[in-house]
Chain A
Amino acid sequence: EADIYQTPRYLVIGTGKKITLECSQTMGHDKMYWYQQDPGMELHLIHYSYGVNSTEKGDLSSESTVSRIRTEHFPLTLESARPSHTSQYLCASSEPGAGGWNEQFFGPGTRLTVL
């Protein structure tokens, strides 16, 4: 079954630790995205990729970095976690459709808490 997966689902970690949030999709989509979502707030795009070896920063400034070595894999890394990084991180993927439409499919999210 085609899907998009995120691990871990929940992560509680101390300040200063390096973390990697994993995202994988089995739909063969070229475009992938990372969003940050805080309670009661809109989703903010922090990174996106058009394909292998392509990464771009989104609208919201983020200290995280991403890589895209394989089509299906788009991990997000924080070199030194801080309490301000506490948030929900959502991964999504999409494929261009007819007329410029492309539906974004979202993973279940990783809820990160930095103590």
Chain B
Amino acid sequence: QKEVEQDPGPLSVPEGAIVSLNCTYSNSAFQYFMWYRQYSRKGPELLMYTYSSGNKEDGRFTAQVDKSSKYISLFIRDSQPSDSATYLCAMRGAQKLVFGQGTRLTINP
């Protein structure tokens, strides 16, 4: 069983929709929870990170962590075509990062 599971999609939604991306994990030692965005032919870039449980908001993006359920989410409000990318969740325990497969998201104008 993988430590981190992420639905690979693809996910296609109209512009302006609310997008929900999710990951589940099995390792209770994970303390930092991250979302990376990766545009085509580019490296991943950090979008948001959260320490332990709770919510974090940054503009149109909200990250949620529920450690009791081992479940994290990223919500994108008022989605824009420029949000079209692959979104990877990542988690960190002692030293290393463990990534999900990534969800390919397309926002249609």
A interface residue numbers (CB < 8 A to B):
4, 6, 40-43, 45, 58-59, 90, 92, 99-101, 103-109, 111
Contact = CB atoms under 8 A, between A and B. Distances in A.
B49 A45 contact: no
Interface in B21-68: 31-32, 36, 41-46, 49, 51
Contacts, number: 49
A99 B41 CA distance: 33
A103 B101 contact: no
Contacts of A45: 96-97
A105 B22 CA distance: 23
Nearest to A102: B92
Interface of B: 2, 4, 6, 8, 31-32, 36, 41-46, 49, 51, 88, 96-102
Given A40-B102, A45-B96, A109-B43, 6 more contacts: A41-B101, A42-B100, A42-B102, A90-B44, A101-B32, A111-B41
Contacts of A6: 43
Given A40-B101, A43-B99, A103 B49 contact: yes
Given A99-B51, A101-B32, A101-B51, A42 B45 contact: no
Contacts of B8: 40
A101 B42 contact: no
Contacts of B32: 100-101
Contacts of B102: 40, 42
B95 to A, nearest CB: 9
A107 B43 contact: yes
B97 A104 contact: yes
A8 to B, nearest CB: 13
A90 B96 CA distance: 15
B100 to A, nearest CB: 6
B43 A42 contact: no
